[in-house]
Structure 1
């Protein structure tokens, strides 16, 4: 993992070039190119199985095999481990949530705490406290001592996002935030994404819900059988 050179204010926070990814012998992502600017919300659109989740996993370093260039916050993370990307401020919210179900809501949040961060130009990134998290997710404030196993799917989704924010990320990769949750939770998720944008965070989300994506995102890419096109 090396620091990229010639960083300017117009350099994207995330810049992906020629990204390919495989599950075993099966290639699932073909020469993907995308970028996300600081404070921008970008959607990856596509049907089920189009490769949206695989794209996010490949960026994060979670695919068993990948080639291509991934530069984040001025660092080349093309060959980095997921924990190294996370330490640089790249947050990841998987579709399957992966919360600690035997811990309480508060304990899950406390596990996510990381130090405050700076952007590459030296300005301070948004810093999250428990108070700010509970202001953004009032539902979680009312269930701090509840075991995470006793939450609904939508509440668990909120908790996963909140735990990621406790790491003070510069950018969040958000996999299918509206999938399989109640309409009221979908609306709260949308408001949350817009609130993150107002604070200067970048978000790259995968999404099938066209109306949701149009509501929250500045622009989008479309994926079809692992091939990415700008739209």
Structure 2
């Protein structure tokens, strides 16, 4: 048969917190109940997410996760980011809830993705739909690019922030004359984002200060435009 629809059913500590968060991202509630069990269904266009509440549930210990395939991760990320800015005054990058930036995933054939970690600790993994993509990102080349790709797998896919930090710190500790400046900016901004996840504001500020010292040509600055947008969001979160 065709036209079946799969809807993820995810745990949370509070359906009220879940509803408030997802409404900020442009969702609306299609069903809500307290009895016989607390349950809320959220929808944004063709994206459906359902949640059930558990007494004593710890979002930090959640293993809840699902994949969202979309033809345009950048568009969806921009919409979510705009919703966060309107509701919270900034893009949430630390703690629970938070959202990562779109980045190519070498463990997803070079296609891009980002994650929303919601108030229930669920990882909503938004990835580029292969069917809507003509050519994924090429395999990374160069020392920094490979380190960044490995760190993204650990930090954004596995959620192992500490291992991602170790990879990037090792790469940043040994700069080379032929390092690509754009990749250097990307590495520094991602390292700042990881610092925010670890509530290390001092390191985040240090990384952003180092971004300001990277010399770029006009063409390189254009290539790094989206990364500078991420840096601006991080700077706003630090204020």
Q: Give me the TM-score of the superposition, normalised by structure 2.
A: 0.29
User: Which structure features the higher share of helix residues?
Assistant: 2
Q: Give me the TM-score of the superposition, normalised by structure 1.
A: 0.29
Structure 1 or 2, whichever has the larger Rg, is 2
User: Which structure features the higher share of strand residues?
Assistant: 1
